A and B are shown apart, each in its own frame.
Chain A
Amino acid sequence: MAHGPYSNSLPDLKTPAFVNDWRRGALITAAIFAVASAVLAYLAASLQHDGFQHLLRSYLMGFVLCWSFALGGQALLMLQYLTGGKWGLVVRRPLEAMARTLPLVALLFLPIGFCMKRLYLWARISDPAAAFKAHLITHDEAHAIAWKRPMLGIGSVWIQTIICFAIWFTFLYFMDRWSVQRDADPEPHVHFWQTRFENISGFGLVIYSITMTVVAIDWVMSLDVTWYSSMYGFLFLVGQGYAAFALVIYTTLKLSKAEPLKTVLRVTEQHDLGKLAFAFVMLNIYIAYSQFLIIWSGNLPDEIPWYLDRIRGGWGVIATLDFVFHWLVPFTLLLSRDIKRNKRRLMLVCGIMIFARCWDTFWLIAPNFPDAARNLHLSFGLFEYVTVPITVGAIWMWYYFTQLQKRPIVQTNDPHFDEIMEAQHAHA
Chain B
Amino acid sequence: MATIPESPVNDPMLDPITGENLVIAPGHTFKSVTEEVSRIVLTGHTPLGWYFGFALAGSIVIMLLTAISWLFLKGVGIWGLDIPVAWGFAIINFVWWIGIGHAGTLISAFLLLFKQQWRNSINRFAEAMTIFAVICAALFPLIHVGRPWLGYWLIPYPSTMNVWPNFRSPLLWDVFAVSTYGIISVVFWYIGMVPDMGTMRDRCKSKVGQYFYGLLSVGWRGSVRHWMRYESACLLLAGLATPLVLSVHSVISFDFAVAILPGWHTAIFPPYFVAGAIYSGFAMVITLAVPIRKWYHLEDLITLRHLDNMGKVMLATGLIIAYGYAMDVFMAWFSASRFEFFMIWNRMFGPIGWAYWVLITCNIVLPQLLWLRKFRTNPTLLFLISLVINTGMWFERFVIIVVSLTRDYLPSSWGTYKATRWDYMTLGGTLGLFTALFFLFVRFLPMIPMSELRVLLPQSKIRRKAEPLEAGD
Which residues of A approach B to under 8 Å, CB–CB? 1, 3, 83, 85, 143-144, 147-148, 151, 181, 185, 187, 189-192, 194, 202, 206, 209-210, 213, 217, 226, 228-234, 272, 275, 282, 286-287, 290-291, 293-295, 297-298, 300, 302, 415, 425-426
Contact = CB atoms under 8 A, between A and B. Distances in A.
A230 B267 contact: yes
B49 interface: no
Interface in B248-271: 250, 254, 257-260, 265-271
A192 B4 contact: yes
Contact of A192 (B7, B259, B269, B334): B7
B250 A415 contact: no
Contact of A191 (B7, B115, B326, B328): B7
B6 interface: yes
Contacts of B265: 294, 298, 300
A125 B113 CA distance: 52
A230 B266 contact: yes
A277 to B, nearest CB: 13
Contacts of B371: 202
B103 to A, nearest CB: 17
A302 B7 CA distance: 57
B333 to A, nearest CB: 8
Given A191-B19, A209-B323, A286 B270 contact: yes
A308 to B, nearest CB: 16
B1 A181 contact: yes
Interface residues of B, number: 43
A144 B336 contact: yes
Contacts of A151: 334
Given A148-B334, A192-B7, A228-B334, A290 B271 contact: yes
Given A189-B6, A190-B19, A202-B371, A295 B267 contact: yes
Contacts of B7: 191-192
19 contacts: A1-B16, A3-B17, A85-B114, A143-B336, A148-B334, A185-B1, A185-B4, A191-B6, A202-B315, A209-B323, A230-B266, A233-B327, A272-B114, A275-B113, A290-B250, A290-B271, A294-B266, A297-B254, A298-B260
Given A231-B268, A298-B259, A298-B260, 15 more contacts: A144-B336, A187-B4, A190-B17, A191-B6, A191-B18, A228-B335, A229-B331, A275-B114, A286-B246, A287-B270, A290-B250, A293-B258, A294-B257, A294-B266, A297-B168
| Chain B interface mostly | loop
Nearest to A145: B336
B319 A206 contact: yes
B18 A230 contact: no
Contact of B250 (A187, A194, A286): A286
A210 B322 CA distance: 11
Given A187-B4, A228-B331, A234-B271, A300 B260 contact: yes
A7 to B, nearest CB: 16
A230 B328 contact: yes
Nearest to B266: A230
B428 interface: no
